[in-house]
Structure 1
């Protein structure tokens, strides 16, 4: 029997709203980013790394369409930023290299954008929030 590892992402306080995700990690890297409307290959689901644009086209400004990637190496889960403009953070620390994810870590795709006098009125508070997720690593068994 082989073991599998799933990465569970649940919204944490201060996050752009998103539905929890369960990403099964295998031999391919999983891209984390904002879905691309009208592109079936980049449409959000609970089992992929694309985060949905909500309501009337609101997406989080600090998150890129291809923001970061996660992968399994042996029995460890790693993440790296893909040169996103607003960065990727693990437990509040900006990552600049491949970084090990652990049970209970807090992942942030982007950092909050501050409203100022130049911010257009149509930009809501949700637009300005990053994706902030609590990490759970779940080990399962597959095959015989």
Structure 2
């Protein structure tokens, strides 16, 4: 089981408990693809991150994190270790604040970041919330899996 828990500075998301089967790749990414309009069913047991209602807004529309691609990265278990690999996402995938360029083994207490924070500037549209500018940042917990 791969558990991903949001940490400070992350786009908000409920903790994910993703069951891993031998050599089955799980895509981590945005549940809503803004370009194609495709929507995937996000759940606590898959890799799709659902739009969230802005915390300071009582009636605003749900928003998604802009740094998160629809197919951002992939995780899998090979029977001994859990791995992550970036899928050529524009904002990158990071493990313990190091951008990964190849496959990287994960272990409990690693921090993964899907994307980079986007700074607000004079060109940022007014309807973009501060939450949308945040990447997904999660603490990794591996349960029932051997890893080094």
8 Å CA contact retained: 2:32, 2:64: no
Distance 2:106 2:69 in 1: 20
Aligned residues: 134
- Equivalent residue number for residue 57 of structure 1: 62
For normalisation by structure 2, the TM-score amounts to 0.86
Q: How does 1:72-87 map to 2 (within 5 A)?
A: 72-87=77-92
- Equivalent residue number for residue 43 of structure 1: 41
Which has the larger share of strand? Answer: 1
Distance 2:28 2:69 in 1: 9
Uncovered stretches (5+) of structure 1, i.e. residues with no partner: 1-5
1:94-126 CA distances to partner (integer Å, 9 max, x unpaired)? Answer: 000000001100000001001111001111100
For normalisation by structure 1, the TM-score amounts to 0.89
- Where in structure 1 do 4 or more consecutive aligned residues deviate above 6 Å? none
Distance 2:62 2:136 in 1: 16
Q: Which of 25, 28, 42 is equivalent to 1:29?
A: 25
Please tell me whether residue 95 in structure 1 is matched to residue 93 in structure 2: no
When the two chains are superposed, the root-mean-square deviation of aligned CA atoms in Å is 1.5
Q: CA deviation at 1:39?
A: 5.5
8 Å CA contact retained: 2:2, 2:18: yes
